[in-house]
Structure 1
């Protein structure tokens, strides 16, 4: 039994050291943003839009399903990408509805009054990273092969 405990001691010492050297949560600066990771399928093709200041952004929607198969729920996330010129922008715009993606972004809640004067809250996600996990099957692709 004592040899078993001795074999665990180095791991216990490392765990104790790791907790002592880890940064405390409260030492982080306060931000109005949180990091969000979403894996799901594009609900529509991404669209290029201009902001009020004239800056171009790409907006798209990702649907992520969860829950048991017989009672599956889908959550929809509106994503905004501040699209630079060039290949990255073209890459985003080349994705089509149904593409399986992994998106990491900064999320923030915004409260506003709608046209009827009711207070509404929306989740805003600004894309930091995107990875295409699987492109949708296309009948045209099969005929070309």
Structure 2
């Protein structure tokens, strides 16, 4: 093998591996859907405020569509960006990128339940709410 090809093979191989320190595992989600309701400001036990909202997505044929609901939390600090998100109307089409995690808990009847939690990293408005 020529020295050029050997260097080329090493360069390609080197690019496919990361030399940075390993990070703990994480999950990311990307969702395009409509707001289930106007985002709601909620106070935390530490006195901070967070935004909570849900996004709905539809799948399947029109006569048999299934809707999936995703609960989202936003930790954006007070300011124009948070005010803008809080003012969005129900039905607004949005693009969301967020960190996802699962939690398991017991409901009031003692049944084990699981919940998908999404923490907003990026939110973009794609179109205003549907016209009726």
1:128 to 108, 115, 121: 121
Per the TM alignment, residue 28 of structure 1 is displaced from its structure 2 partner at its CA by 4.5
Quote the Cα distance in structure 2 between the aligned partners of 1:18 and 1:41.
42
TM-score by length of 1: 0.75
For the residue of structure 1 that corresponds to 2:83, the secondary structure is helix
Q: CA 1:131/1:18 → structure 2, altered by over 3 Å: closer, same or farther?
A: farther
For the residue of structure 1 that corresponds to 2:97, the secondary structure is strand
Does 1:23 find its partner at 2:35? no
**Counterparts in 2 of 1:20-99, with a 5 A limit?**
21-23=15-17, 28-31=22-25, 33-99=26-92
Higher helix proportion (structure 1 or 2): 1
TM-align CA RMSD: 2.3
Quote the Cα distance in structure 1 between the aligned partners of 2:72 and 2:27.
14
What does residue 3 of structure 1 align with? none
Per the TM alignment, residue 137 of structure 1 is displaced from its structure 2 partner at its CA by 5.0
Q: Stretches of 4+ moved more than 6 A in 1?
A: none
Structure 1 unaligned blocks of 5 or more: 1-12, 140-145
TM-score by length of 2: 0.81
Per the TM alignment, residue 113 of structure 1 is displaced from its structure 2 partner at its CA by 1.5
For the residue of structure 2 that corresponds to 1:120, the secondary structure is strand
Bigger radius of gyration among the two:
1
